[in-house]
């Protein structure tokens, strides 16, 4: 049973990261669609309470930055697990290090992808408003 604890923790961390990321992705896409609908409808929408720039600064940008921070923290936690485990068997310790590195690839890739997507959203917003 002791050997099952760590894989279950790693699986739960990965599942939490994937589930949260998919929720962020869905929300960010909905906000992006709203922003570009407003731009198509009225440009800066000076007469509206929330225009595209306000929605970007109060919704899309914080969600993107929050998801990048979350995925970075999950990656750090997964990668730091081997340092906190006391495994006597060197071979098992090395297998754990390799497994943690492989598992951390997904949240690291997600953080990089959301950073690139955030930059793309900013460029597209500025380009469409000019």
Strands (E), 55-100: none
What is 59-105 written as a DSSP string?
A: IIHHHHHHHHHHHHHHHHHHHHHHHH---S-HHHHHHHHHHHHHHHH
Nearest Cα neighbor of 84 from 10, 27, 14, 25 is: 10
Q: What is the mean pLDDT of residues 56-64?
A: 94
Query: What pLDDT shows up at residue 38?
Result: 92
pTM (two decimals): 0.86
pLDDT at 2 over 60: no
Query: What pLDDT shows up at residue 64?
Result: 95
Number of domains in the chain: 1
Tell me which residue range forms the domain holding 86.
Answer: 2-129
The residue behind tokens 């929408």 is: 45
Distance CA 3, CA 16 (A): 21
Distance CA 56, CA 53 (A): 5
pLDDT at 130 over 50: yes
pLDDT tier at 50 (50, 70, 90 boundaries)? confident
Distance CA 39, CA 20 (A): 29
Average pLDDT score, the chain: 89
pLDDT tier at 57 (50, 70, 90 boundaries)? very high
> Residue 45, by phi and psi: left (phi above 0), alpha (psi -120 to 50) or beta?
left
Distance CA 53, CA 74 (A): 30
In sequence order, which residues have a C-beta less than 8 Å from that of residue 106 and are 6 or more positions away?
14, 17, 18
């Amino acid at each position: 049973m002791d050997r099952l604890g760590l894989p279950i923790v790693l699986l739960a961390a990965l599942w939490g990261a994937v589930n949260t990321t998919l929720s962020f992705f869905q929300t960010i896409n909905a906000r992006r669609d709203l922003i570009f609908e407003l731009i198509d409808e009225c440009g800066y929408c000076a007469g509206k309470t929330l225009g595209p720039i306000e929605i970007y600064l109060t919704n899309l940008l914080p969600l993107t930055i929050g998801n990048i921070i979350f995925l970075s923290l999950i990656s750090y936690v997964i990668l730091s697990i081997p340092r906190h485990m006391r495994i006597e068997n060197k071979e098992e310790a090395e297998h754990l290090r390799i497994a943690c590195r492989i598992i951390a690839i997904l949240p690291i890739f997600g953080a990089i992808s959301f950073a690139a997507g955030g930059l793309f959203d900013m460029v597209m917003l500025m380009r469409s408003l000019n």
